[in-house]
């Protein structure tokens, strides 16, 4: 095993452990917003799609890069905006 792989697997395992612990005693009203919020976080795949646009070559590569960037950008922007709209309901006196 290379050092890079060992490091990457360590990050994966510790990241998953944090994920298991970070959600606890959530009131049921927050279930859907929380799902939507984690949905927005996996939009970070955009960071990989941006690098794909730099690595891509030829029609197939550019087509795949375009698809990845467009999909990931929709996930990020839409995910955070719709989560914010859901959570606005928890502050009825301070709409914005």
Q: Which long-range contacts (CB under 8 A, 24 or more apart) does 35-40 make?
A: 36/79, 36/82, 36/83, 36/86, 37/79, 37/83, 39/75, 39/79, 39/83, 40/75, 40/76, 40/79, 40/80, 40/83
Residue 6 near other proteins by CB under 8 A: no
Place of tokens 């030829």: 58
Among 3, 91, 92, 93, binds other proteins (CB under 8 A): 91
For the segment 43-82, give every residue that binds other proteins (CB under 8 A). Answer: 43-57, 60-62, 64-82
Nearest approach, Cβ of residue 93 and other proteins (Å): 13
Give the C-alpha separation, 54 to 27, whole Å.
Answer: 43
Nearest approach, Cβ of residue 40 and other proteins (Å): 7
For the segment 9-38, give every residue that binds other proteins (CB under 8 A). Answer: 9, 11-20, 22-38
Nearest approach, Cβ of residue 3 and other proteins (Å): 12
Nearest approach, Cβ of residue 59 and other proteins (Å): 10
């Amino acid at each position: 095993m290379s050092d890079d792989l060992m490091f990457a697997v360590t990050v994966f395992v510790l990241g998953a452990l944090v994920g298991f612990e970070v959600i606890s005693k959530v009131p049921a009203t927050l279930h859907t917003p929380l799902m939507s919020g984690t949905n927005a976080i996996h939009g970070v795949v955009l960071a990989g799609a941006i690098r794909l646009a730099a690595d891509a070559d030829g029609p197939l590569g550019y087509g795949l890069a375009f698809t990845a960037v467009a999909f990931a950008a929709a996930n990020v922007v839409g995910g955070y905006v719709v989560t914010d709209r859901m959570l606005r309901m928890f502050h009825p006196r301070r709409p914005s």
